[in-house]
Amino acid sequence: MRPIAVLGAIVTIALSLYVVSKLTAPPSATDIVAPPTPPPEPPKDEAKPAEGETPKEPEQNPDDVTFQQNPFDLKAPGPYPKAVLVQDRFEFGSMPFGTTMSHPFVVKNEGQAPLKLAKGPLQCKCTMPALKEREIPPGGQAEILLEWKPLAIQSGFEKEATIWTNDPANSRLSLQIYGDVVSDDFWEPTDLFNVEQIRQGEERTVKGFVGSRTRDDLKIEKIDQLKNSLKIEYEPADEATLKEKNAKVGYVFKITVPAADEIALVRDTVTVTVNSATNTHIVWQVAGSRVGPLSIIGNGWYADKQLIQLGHFKAAEGTVKKFSLFLKDRAEQDLAITDVKVDGPIKISLEKDPKWTAPANDRYFLTVKFVPGGQIGVRNPEAPLPITIKTNHPKIPSIDFNVSYDAD
């Protein structure tokens, strides 16, 4: 065979082997064509509004720092919008606790360009107008709804919402709501029945009211007394009383201090339990004094509290105070102390003034003495030392009063 023919056969065989190897070899990464990337899906929480539907306002966090600044470019060239608030303050008046109230504030655009709005710092829930791109066209208007649900009973609340605008002349709108948050239940008086002075042998009756402005299922569940010294009655209020009190339901209370002869303070505490989630217990203090045919006069005597104040002194030295005691109803024998009940270093004495000649009454000197060397201590007017004096007078079986002092 010729050399040229042999060489051609070798080349032919080599080319054939190369083609076979390429056809049977696995494809390389550079030989694979990637499929086209699909378009990204819209976020699941951003629902696309239907055609013609106004986009829903997204929830925003008022604590976000971005709310503290106006997001609009206020240096852009005109024409400009003009933001006008028809009303910037609204009074809710008395809001029953537990209710939610709202008020719409109208914003007008009296300018020549669209008025843009954005939320600023908020103290209450604020619902912006559901406007396309949050714009009010020239000559248009929208309502911003402020909603307030109080979390506690409060007198004189005031809340504010800031709305940013792209109006360079009025870039910040301040919307304010205010009023009082009251209990759905109410009572009169709020805390104290003052029965004032009651004569010996007389009784004193005072009236109260418990009602509700918003509900009709108010019920009295229980009534408690601290000392059980009072007579308590109640009954459902009639229509005229409910109308007068502006209540849907209510009860009229009668609290009576019974007649007695003791000359003493009148003190008791009444607790009324009602079926209310906001004010379960109503606490009334009943206070006054029962007076007899005598009166005490002197520096350090406080009749409304039946209290003698000895002041500040050295316990080792003690102190003495003397008061005038005037007796209207004379007895066959002079007034005298038959017994003294006191748990402390106090001595009480009584002597008649022999120089007193007034025909209407007798005068006595009541002496209150802190014994020298008595125990150091403080008895303030809120926690005084109680004293009971028994006498020989038929109309003055006992006199109760208190003593306060600061002995160091």
Q: Comparing C-alpha atoms, which of 397, 395, 396, 330 is closest to residue 362?
A: 330
CA distance 179 to 322: 54
Q: What is the DSSP letter of 5?
A: H
Q: Comparing C-alpha atoms, which of 338, 372, 334, 373 is closest to residue 356?
A: 334
CA distance 252 to 242: 10
Distances (CA, A) of 299 to 167, 235, 372: 71, 46, 21
CA distance 59 to 328: 79
Distance of alpha carbon 146 from the chain centroid: 21
Kindly tell me the sign of the dihedral angle through the C-alpha atoms of 331, 334, 339, 340.
positive
CA distance 240 to 139: 52
Q: Which domains are present in the chain?
A: 65-182 (2.60.40.10), 185-291 (2.60.40.10), 294-407 (2.60.40)
Cis ω on the peptide bond leading into residue 258 (within 30° of 0)?
A: no
- Over its C-alpha atoms, the chain yields an Rg (Å, rounded) of 44
CA atoms within 13 A on the CB side of 277: 6
CA distance 223 to 272: 5
pLDDT tens, residue order, the chain (408 aa): 455 454 455 545 554 545 444 444 444 433 434 444 444 444 443 344 444 333 444 444 545 555 688 999 999 898 999 999 999 999 988 787 767 888 999 999 999 999 999 988 888 877 776 656 678 999 999 999 888 887 777 778 888 999 999 999 999 999 999 888 877 788 999 899 999 999 988 999 999 999 998 788 899 999 999 999 999 999 999 999 999 998 999 999 999 999 998 888 899 999 999 987 666 789 999 999 988 898 999 999 998 889 999 999 999 999 999 999 999 888 788 999 999 999 999 999 999 999 998 888 999 999 999 999 999 999 999 999 999 999 999 888 999 999 999 999
